[in-house]
A and B are shown apart, each in its own frame.
Chain A
Amino acid sequence: KAGVTQTPRYLIKTRGQQVTLSCSPISGHRSVSWYQQTPGQGLQFLFEYFSETQRNKGNFPGRFSGRQFSNSRSEMNVSTLELGDSALYLCASSPEGTSGGRATDTQYFGPGTRLTVL
């Protein structure tokens, strides 16, 4: 199976602009989560989508939004970019459910999108 893919891998924007990042989960995975990773704050949870519905949300301002499509692909959008939004944005997919009675709560990460805000 192909892994989690994210596009673009690198992005440079200026303050005030908006950006859309894309994530394609592993085939068959219905849960997609987004994280922001910075050297100072580590991995911070943004939100999780499951079957096109936002199931969980982290503590980020409303400028950060996301959505999931019927094929489980997901996008996240950041509006009115700030310098502090510069980070590695990671997407992770999860199969959910059980397999032979054993939980398959596992997240698989994509390579990330490196966003730089100037």
Chain B
Amino acid sequence: GQQLNQSPQSMFIQEGEDVSMNCTSSSIFNTWLWYKQDPGEGPVLLIALYKAGELTSNGRLTAQFGITRKDSFLNISASIPSDVGIYFCAGRDSGTYKYIFGTGTRLKVLA
């Protein structure tokens, strides 16, 4: 099925470091969503973006909706051990209205 290009696929970082991940698409999206998923659980919504250029924060998390509407990034500042998990981006295709998901970024934080 159709998927977004999400990078990096995985990363190990030291506690306290900042983290950045991004998603790109060949399609224009009306909405970008960022989720975190813990093992065996459903994804939990972190941030929702609805307008090109929009920059939104949720605690230590910041995400931006790209100007071209084909990309988005997520930053995590001062990472802590509980940030461990898989982060997914999702975009809503403006033509089909389907949500398309990225392949995920697996984050591991070293204390």
Which listed residue, A35, A103, A108, A114, touches B30 by the CB 8 Å rule?
A103
Q: How far is the CB of A114 from chain B (nearest CB, A)?
A: 7
- B59 proximal to A (CB < 8 A): no
Residues of the A chain whose Cβ atoms lie less than 8 Å from the Cβ of B96: 56
- A66 proximal to B (CB < 8 A): no
> Is A111 touching B41 in the complex (CB atoms < 8 A)?
yes
> Is A45 touching B42 in the complex (CB atoms < 8 A)?
no
Which listed residue, B30, B42, B48, B97, touches A90 by the CB 8 Å rule?
B42
- Interface size range on B against A: 20 to 34
> Is A109 touching B97 in the complex (CB atoms < 8 A)?
no
Contact mask for chain A residues 1-43; partner B; CB cutoff 8 A; 1 contact, 0 none: 0001010000000000000000000000000010100000111
> Is B1 touching A108 in the complex (CB atoms < 8 A)?
no
- Interface size range on A against B: 20 to 34
Which listed residue, A48, A56, A59, touches B1 by the CB 8 Å rule?
A59
A-B interface pairs (CB < 8 A), number:
61
Taken together as a complex, chains A and B put the C-alpha atoms of A55 and B97 apart, in Å, by: 9
Taken together as a complex, chains A and B put the C-alpha atoms of A44 and B82 apart, in Å, by: 26
Taken together as a complex, chains A and B put the C-alpha atoms of A114 and B41 apart, in Å, by: 10
Looking at B3, B40, B42, B45, the one whose CB has the most chain A CB atoms below 10 A away is B42
Q: How far is the CB of A10 from chain B (nearest CB, A)?
A: 10
> Is B99 touching A33 in the complex (CB atoms < 8 A)?
yes
Looking at A33, A43, A48, the one whose CB has the most chain B CB atoms below 10 A away is A43
Given contacts A103-B30, A103-B31, A107-B33, contact A42 B104 (CB under 8 A): yes
Taken together as a complex, chains A and B put the C-alpha atoms of A90 and B101 apart, in Å, by: 13
> Is B50 touching A105 in the complex (CB atoms < 8 A)?
yes
Q: How far is the CB of B32 from chain A (nearest CB, A)?
A: 10
Residues of the A chain whose Cβ atoms lie less than 8 Å from the Cβ of B31: 103, 105-106
> Is B101 touching A112 in the complex (CB atoms < 8 A)?
no
**Which B residues contact A (CB, under 8 angstroms)?**
1, 3, 30-31, 33, 35, 40-45, 48, 50, 88, 90, 92, 96-101, 103-104
